[in-house]
Amino acid sequence: NDTTDHSLNTTTMRRKPLLIAGIPIAGLALASYHGGSSTTVSAWSPAPHTTTSRRSHKPSSSSSSVVLHSAIEDELDLSSLHLTPQLEMMVTAFSSIPDEKTRHKQLLYMASKLPAVTDDVRISENKVPGCLSTVHVDCTLEPKEDDQETMVVNYFGDSDGLLTKGLLALLIRGLNGATPEEIQQVDPQFIQAAKISQTLTPGRNNGFLNMLAVMKKKALDAAEGGAAADEETKSEEEQSAIVTSFEEIDGKPMYNTIMTTLITILKPTSITLTDNSSQHAGHAGSKGWEESGESHFALEIVAEAFEGLSLVKRHQLIYMLLGETMQKIHALEIKAKSPAEV
């Protein structure tokens, strides 16, 4: 009868819902009207990813359809972002979710599924600077299961902020199982292609960039550390030359933040930060001066990370790492060198 035919038609046209991190995206149903008074509803799933050009089609007079279209995906070719297979899969899935609220919920779900870590991971060497929440991340380098000669990276970490933890979970899942070289190639613009950046405040966006930067450096350190262990190319003297701590100054939060960030990320062999704010007392427009009497600094730093970088690139690297702190500084004089230049 008509009732039975309609029930079968609805069941036949029903598609499996989109799964991200093992959970179906609920509540995303698109209704298609097929003439007359009959209506069928099928669970929503994204269109398959393709690199070919797209054409838009106007709905006919006898039917109505909903077309999901991402301008960002058109602007950013995923193949140019050098994503790992897992990252590309998740970027495609997230970009296909039509609303920010659901993307936000998915990040919170991924945060709840991130494996717990022990307290030995929550140490200063693993802390990510420049995040609104506290984030710790580390990694190991292990042989690939199906190719023992290829070494791949496996990350683990935690955060005390749920949304930040979700971003960390996304990065861990997306980068785990990739080689250090593949991880270095990943373009951070994928956060825009996934439309996740729309959900984040500028502070969390900056924190995300810092997390990715730290994870890239962790992968490099793990790869170089493994080679060093095999070849014994790094001496104990070279390791002891790296600056690992400094004396904090009470009432100087910007000074302490700058030193902590640069020492943690760049691992300099020498670093000197001079606060010249007293020479420019009351400088107009300086947020740092208004908050703590800090506005002008002079930085001298020597680090291996500057090897092969131009002067402009070295300055840009420091600006990026300091993130929101740079917005409060009126002037930062920088002298950045590699060990070979000293």
Catalogue the active-site residues. 131
Both tokens of residue 36?
A: 């007359």
Both tokens of residue 39?
A: 């209506």
Surface-to-core class of residue 330, CB atoms within 10 Å of its CB (0-12 exposed, 13-18 middle, 19+ buried):
middle
Rounded to whole angstroms, the Cα distance separating 106 from 169 reads 11
Instruction: Please choose, from the candidates 216, 98, 114, 131, the residue with its C-alpha nearest in 3D space to the C-alpha of residue 170.
Output: 114
Which positions ≥6 away from 233 have C-beta within 8 Å? 227
Both tokens of residue 339?
A: 């060990």
Both tokens of residue 47?
A: 């269109």
Whole-number Cα distances in Å, 205 to 101, 115, 309, 338: 17, 23, 25, 29
Element (H, E) at 216: helix 202-231
Whole-number Cα distances in Å, 102 to 106, 173, 199: 6, 19, 10
Query: What amino acid is encoded at 154 in this protein?
Result: N
**Nearest 5°: CA angle at 193, between 201 and 72?**
100
Q: What is the dihedral of CA 210, 212, 213, 217, to 10 degrees?
A: 140
Whole-number Cα distances in Å, 218 to 3, 109, 249: 61, 26, 29
Q: What are phi and psi of 285, to 5 degrees?
A: 85, 0
Half-sphere exposure of 28 (CA within 13 A, CB side): 21
Rounded to whole angstroms, the Cα distance separating 215 from 224 reads 14
